[in-house]
């Protein structure tokens, strides 16, 4: 049972990555995604990769899986019909939302507001009221509540949410109503807001819980089918699902709290990039995942991703932990245009998508895209995917030429302009996750992946000063690698909202103990051996009356020893790092205490080879020209599969492989390291 399989279902392709933990051998497979029922594509891929490796599915010890089933349900608004039971007086909680309309001034004129996961006609008010100190103001009127539950279920809702005011401080009423549902309709899917997010701010908590109910039947069915069909094919292993914070959860947990996996996709990429870069000796990285329509970026320090507790998806802000991934609407398919009024050159956010796609793909697209600009300047050689797909250079030139005409530039210069602007947009996203949070991007390496990441990484790294650029082998498969290296993870929290000058170490200690016990119980119930369990604690802190918290690491030993002072100091330090100042005399408070449980998985072996001191000449397949700062520059094209560790060569150069193309600009040197990564650095 030495085999581990990572499976990532993306928009276009399903990627699979198989590792033999005993000898480190690896296999990779790419199959088309089957959007109607993604499990079909997964099963095809599993069969294919088992065949390639010459093993039977029974040999699979573990399947780790990143899935976008929940993401798509939210984005497409296609989920279960959700009934919401809320506190009397708050029926319109989701309808009112946070009352926000977009900027700038007059932004409301063009705002489009999506329906919330539970419609007003499926929302009912329970007679009950909990106070802000956990005191019952109005007890639950059981008879009234029975009536509204029956009314909802009989009207045909498929999933119920109970979201009551102040349930973050006491979940008594929510549990009481949950028990009534269970008594009346045993087994009916119910989500309690205090289970999913036991934190304050009623709108975000209720919305997150409703979204959980909204995606739950779909995800439950998906994981059940996948599990059943894998077993039918002879597999005996467990399937684990990747969470948005790059932890793993079992299918059982995924069926219960699927909302924790709502950004499973991007988190797999970050986890994979981190694994590759840490192994190569770079624990501080910026990840740069550029696809067809958008680019995801994230910052990781000391081998850890930054985890946030606010997750935006579409127009919804959900309160679940996720890797702080920032997305910009800039990708290979982004369309360049020149508005009549200002005659400025804009790139995106509109995208040509897969259909019709860039002009160069010859599928009927005529609008100039970033990919077309790459073709014009020669960063994309005329043949892609190992010669399988030819690019229509003339069509790309015609498309980009329209931009040149509109702003008065030659076609080559217009193409360079499009690339400069899209690179700048992506650097803006990288600045947001680094500089704006107090990090110096020059202290970070840039890990490039996704279809277009390696094409742009050198130019973007130049803007950021982030070197080396690391292009891992098979950059298109990095998400599946991320699935493989992820650990089991869950977190439990308790809101306490207490100023530091009133908080007692023994109270903090007992809350942490209780959270720790719950976390251990959870891990044990998920089958994680005691020796593999790792527990850490956090306190969400802020200055009294601030509205955002900073998660400060807590040492349980210090708390047990009665020491809390260092928490305040650490908070001040982190506040200064993030915002550039701290307040000596302002009182601080603890808002939430958190316990995070990690369950270790066996670490993955990466193939290595001894370094030599080659120049990669044997890998040169073609001579070619690229446009660089207005001039045509002769450039060598290398076949990545023929490069060996230690090979070093200067830019300009282009490295092609099955699913990606890497550009090395003039003035830079590329080298292959012992893990087969390409590292790009400025020439000494």
Partner 1 sequence: MATTSDELRIAEIPTDVEIDPVTLDIIEGALKSARYEMDATLFRSAMSPVIREQHDEFPMITDPRGRMVVGQFGAYINEMMEAWDQGIYEGDVILTSDPFKCSASISHTNDWLILVPIFHDGALVGWSSQFGHMMDAGGRLPGSLPTNAKTIYDEGLIIPPVKVIERGEVQQPVLNLIFNNMRMPAMNRADMFALIAGCRAGEKRVQELCDRFGQETYLAACQALLDRTHAAMRTLINLAIPEVPHSFEDYVDDDGLGHGPFKMKLTIWREGDHAFFDWTGTDPQAMGPVNFYLSEGMFKMFIGIYLIMVNDPQILFNDGFYPLLHIILPEGCLLRPRFPSALGCRTHALARLFDVLGGALTKQAPELNTAAGYGTSPYMLYSGWGEKGDFFYAMEILYGGIPGRPIGDGMDGHSWWPLFENIPTEYLEAYYPLRIDGYTTVTDSGGPGLHRGGNGVEKRYVYLEPGEVSIHDDRWLTRPWGVLGGLPGARSEKILKRVDGSEERLPSKCDEIVVEPGDMLIYRTAGGGGWKDRLDRPVEAVVRDVSFGLVSAAYAKEGYGVVINADGTADEAATAAERERQRTERGDALFFDFGPPLEEILASCKAETGLEPPVPATPLKWSALEDGAEAQQRVRAKDDLPGDTVTAP
Compare residues 120 and 390 and give the one whose CB is closer to partner 1.
120
Asked if 77 is part of the footprint of partner 1 (rule: CB under 8 A), the reply reads no
Backbone angles phi, psi at 139, to 5 degrees: -70, 160
Please pick, from the candidates 36, 186, 531, 545, the single residue that binds partner 1 as defined by CB under 8 A: 545
Which one of 3-11, 100-108, 188-196, 466-474 is the stretch in contact with partner 1 (CB under 8 A)? 100-108
* Chain-centre distance for alpha carbon 186: 35
* Nearest-approach distance from CB 421 to partner 1, in angstroms: 6
Q: What is the DSSP letter of 369?
A: B
* Nearest-approach distance from CB 145 to partner 1, in angstroms: 18
Compare residues 166 and 351 and give the one whose CB is closer to partner 1.
166
Please pick, from the candidates 23, 98, 302, 629, the single residue that binds partner 1 as defined by CB under 8 A: 98
Compare residues 423 and 519 and give the one whose CB is closer to partner 1.
423
Of the candidates 447, 596, 434, 440, the one whose C-alpha atom is nearest the C-alpha of residue 519 is 596
Contact indicator for 257, 445 with CB cutoff of 8 Å: no
Compare residues 48 and 172 and give the one whose CB is closer to partner 1.
172
H helices within 251-321, ranges in order?
251-256, 264-279
Which one of 62-70, 85-93, 249-257, 620-628 is the stretch in contact with partner 1 (CB under 8 A)? 85-93
User: Which two three-digit tokens encode residue 630?
Assistant: 């207005």
Q: Give the dihedral of Cα atoms 618, 623, 628, 630; nearest 10 deg.
A: 170
Asked if 428 is part of the footprint of partner 1 (rule: CB under 8 A), the reply reads yes
* Nearest-approach distance from CB 355 to partner 1, in angstroms: 25
Please pick, from the candidates 80, 85, 152, 165, the single residue that binds partner 1 as defined by CB under 8 A: 165
Binding mask 201-240 for partner 1 (x = CB under 8 A): xxx-------------------------------------
Which one of 4-12, 108-116, 212-220, 619-627 is the stretch in contact with partner 1 (CB under 8 A)? 108-116
Which one of 546-554, 558-566, 596-604, 673-681 is the stretch in contact with partner 1 (CB under 8 A)? 546-554
Q: Which parts of 585-604 interact with partner 1 (CB under 8 A)? A: 585-587
Which one of 223-231, 254-262, 412-420, 661-669 is the stretch in contact with partner 1 (CB under 8 A)? 412-420
User: Which two three-digit tokens encode residue 156?
Assistant: 């045909």
Contact indicator for 129, 87 with CB cutoff of 8 Å: yes
Asked if 420 is part of the footprint of partner 1 (rule: CB under 8 A), the reply reads yes
Asked if 81 is part of the footprint of partner 1 (rule: CB under 8 A), the reply reads no
* Stretch (H or E) spanning 315: none
Backbone angles phi, psi at 237, to 5 degrees: -80, 170
d(CA 605, CA 489): 21
Name the 3-class secondary structure at 119. Answer: coil
User: Which two three-digit tokens encode residue 448?
Assistant: 């490039």
- Kindly tell me the burial class for residue 553, based on how many C-beta atoms sit within 10 Å of its own C-beta (0-12, 13-18, 19 or more): exposed
Please pick, from the candidates 153, 407, 574, 633, the single residue that binds partner 1 as defined by CB under 8 A: 407
- Kindly tell me the burial class for residue 8, based on how many C-beta atoms sit within 10 Å of its own C-beta (0-12, 13-18, 19 or more): buried
Please pick, from the candidates 3, 17, 168, 288, the single residue that binds partner 1 as defined by CB under 8 A: 168
Altogether, the residues listed in the chain come to a count of: 684
Compare residues 54 and 104 and give the one whose CB is closer to partner 1.
104
Asked if 95 is part of the footprint of partner 1 (rule: CB under 8 A), the reply reads yes
Compare residues 578 and 621 and give the one whose CB is closer to partner 1.
578
d(CA 162, CA 148): 12
Please pick, from the candidates 102, 139, 562, 607, the single residue that binds partner 1 as defined by CB under 8 A: 102
H helices within 526-639, ranges in order?
556-560, 565-579
Please pick, from the candidates 23, 109, 302, 634, the single residue that binds partner 1 as defined by CB under 8 A: 109
Compare residues 329 and 509 and give the one whose CB is closer to partner 1.
329
Please pick, from the candidates 88, 144, 175, 533, the single residue that binds partner 1 as defined by CB under 8 A: 88
d(CA 650, CA 635): 10
Binding mask 484-523 for partner 1 (x = CB under 8 A): -------------x--------------------------
d(CA 377, CA 391): 13
* Nearest-approach distance from CB 131 to partner 1, in angstroms: 7
- DSSP assignment of 234-264 equals T---EEEEE-TTSEEEEHHHHHH-GGGGTTH
User: Which two three-digit tokens encode residue 202?
Assistant: 């009623």
* Nearest-approach distance from CB 603 to partner 1, in angstroms: 36
Residues 6+ apart with CB under 8 A from 348: 328, 329, 330, 331, 334, 335, 422, 425
* Nearest-approach distance from CB 103 to partner 1, in angstroms: 4
Which one of 164-172, 176-184, 265-273, 566-574 is the stretch in contact with partner 1 (CB under 8 A)? 164-172
| Paired strand residues for 190 | 160
User: Which two three-digit tokens encode residue 541?
Assistant: 């802190």
* Nearest-approach distance from CB 546 to partner 1, in angstroms: 5
What are the distances in angstroms from CA 111 to CA 104, 149, 203? 11, 34, 20
Tell me: cis bond preceding 253? Omega within 30 of 0 counts.
Answer: no
Contact indicator for 269, 478 with CB cutoff of 8 Å: yes
Q: Which parts of 114-143 interact with partner 1 (CB under 8 A)? A: 119-121, 131-132, 137
* Nearest-approach distance from CB 201 to partner 1, in angstroms: 5
Compare residues 66 and 83 and give the one whose CB is closer to partner 1.
83
Compare residues 302 and 340 and give the one whose CB is closer to partner 1.
340
Compare residues 431 and 520 and give the one whose CB is closer to partner 1.
431
Residues 6+ apart with CB under 8 A from 635: 378, 623, 624, 625, 626, 652, 653, 654
* Stretch (H or E) spanning 470: strand 469-471
Q: Which parts of 329-358 interact with partner 1 (CB under 8 A)? A: 339, 341-346
Q: Which parts of 568-587 interact with partner 1 (CB under 8 A)? A: 575, 578-581, 583, 585-587
Compare residues 64 and 403 and give the one whose CB is closer to partner 1.
403
Contact indicator for 223, 255 with CB cutoff of 8 Å: yes
* Nearest-approach distance from CB 575 to partner 1, in angstroms: 7
Please pick, from the candidates 99, 143, 302, 683, the single residue that binds partner 1 as defined by CB under 8 A: 99
- Kindly tell me the burial class for residue 683, based on how many C-beta atoms sit within 10 Å of its own C-beta (0-12, 13-18, 19 or more): exposed
Compare residues 540 and 647 and give the one whose CB is closer to partner 1.
540
Please pick, from the candidates 23, 54, 110, 634, the single residue that binds partner 1 as defined by CB under 8 A: 110
Size of the site for partner 1 (CB under 8 A): 73
Backbone angles phi, psi at 250, to 5 degrees: -75, 165
Compare residues 393 and 420 and give the one whose CB is closer to partner 1.
420
d(CA 496, CA 499): 9
Compare residues 82 and 241 and give the one whose CB is closer to partner 1.
82
């Amino acid at each position: 049972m030495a085999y581990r399989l990572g499976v990532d279902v993306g928009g276009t392709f399903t990627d699979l990555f198989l590792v033999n933990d005993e000898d480190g051998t690896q296999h990779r497979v790419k199959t088309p995604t089957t959007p109607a029922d993604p499990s079909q594509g997964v099963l095809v891929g599993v069969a294919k990769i088992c065949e390639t490796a010459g093993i039977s599915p029974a040999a699979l010890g573990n399947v780790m899986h990143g899935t976008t089933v929940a993401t798509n349900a939210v984005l497409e608004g296609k989920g279960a019909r959700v009934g919401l039971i809320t506190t009397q007086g708050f029926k319109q909680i989701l309808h009112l939302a946070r009352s926000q309309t977009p900027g700038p001034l007059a932004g409301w004129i063009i705002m489009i507001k999506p329906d919330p996961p539970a419609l007003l006609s499926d929302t009912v008010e329970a007679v009950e009221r909990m106070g802000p100190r956990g005191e019952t103001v109005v007890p639950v009127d059981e008879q009234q509540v029975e009536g509204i539950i029956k009314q909802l279920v009989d009207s045909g809702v498929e999933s119920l949410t109970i979201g009551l005011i102040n349930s973050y401080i006491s979940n008594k009423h929510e549990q009481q109503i949950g028990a009534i549902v269970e008594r009346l309709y045993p087994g009916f899917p119910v989500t309690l807001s205090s289970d999913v997010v036991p934190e304050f701010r009623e709108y975000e908590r209720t919305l997150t819980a409703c979204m959980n109910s909204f995606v739950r039947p779909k995800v439950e069915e998906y994981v059940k089918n996948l599990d059943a069909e894998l077993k039918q094919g002879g597999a005996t292993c467990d399937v684990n699902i990747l969470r948005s914070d790059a932890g793993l959860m079992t299918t059982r947990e995924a069926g219960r709290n699927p909302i924790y996996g709502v950004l499973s996709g991007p988190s797999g990429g970050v986890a994979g990039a981190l694994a590759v870069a840490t192994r190569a000796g770079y624990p501080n990285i910026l990840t740069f995942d550029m696809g067809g329509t958008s680019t995801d970026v994230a910052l990781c320090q000391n081998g850890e991703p930054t985890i946030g507790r606010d997750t935006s998806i579409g127009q919804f802000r959900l309160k679940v932990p996720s890797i702080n991934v920032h997305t910009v609407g800039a990708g290979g398919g982004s369309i360049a245009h020149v508005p009549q009024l200002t005659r400025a050159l804009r790139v995106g956010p509109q995208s040509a998508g897969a259909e019709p796609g860039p002009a160069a793909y010859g599928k009927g697209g005529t609008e100039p895209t970033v990919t077309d600009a790459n073709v014009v300047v020669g960063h994309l050689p005329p043949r892609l995917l190992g010669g399988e797909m030819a690019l229509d250079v003339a069509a790309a030139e015609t498309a980009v030429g329209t931009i040149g005409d509109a702003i008065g530039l030659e076609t080559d210069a217009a193409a360079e302009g499009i690339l400069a602007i899209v690179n700048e947009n992506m650097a803006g996203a990288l600045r947001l996750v680094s500089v704006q949070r107090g990090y110096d991007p020059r202290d970070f390496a840039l890990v490039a992946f996704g279809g277009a990441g390696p094409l742009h990484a050198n130019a973007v790294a130049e803007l950021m000063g982030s070197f080396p650029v690391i292009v891992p082998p098979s950059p298109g498969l990095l998400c599946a690698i991320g699935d493989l290296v992820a650990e089991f993870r869950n977190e439990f929290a308790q809101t306490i909202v207490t100023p530091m000058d009133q908080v007692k170490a023994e109270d903090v200690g007992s809350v942490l103990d209780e959270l720790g016990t719950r976390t251990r119980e959870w891990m044990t119930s998920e089958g994680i051996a005691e020796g593999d369990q790792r527990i850490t604690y956090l306190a969400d802190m802020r200055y009294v009356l601030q509205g955002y918290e900073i998660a400060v690491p807590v040492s349980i030993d210090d708390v047990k020893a009665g020491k809390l002072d260092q928490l305040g100091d650490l908070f001040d330090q982190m506040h200064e790092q993030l915002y550039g100042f701290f307040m000596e005399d302002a009182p601080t408070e603890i808002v939430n205490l958190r316990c995070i449980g990690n369950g270790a998985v066996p670490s993955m072996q990466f193939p290595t080879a001894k370094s030599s001191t080659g120049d990669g000449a044997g890998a040169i397949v073609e001579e070619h020209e690229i446009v660089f700062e207005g001039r045509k520059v002769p450039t060598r094209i290398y076949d990545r599969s023929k490069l060996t560790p230690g090979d070093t060569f200067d830019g300009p150069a282009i490295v092609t492989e099955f699913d990606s193309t890497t550009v090395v600009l003039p003035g830079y040197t590329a080298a292959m390291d012992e893990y087969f990564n390409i590292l790009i650095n400025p020439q000494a």
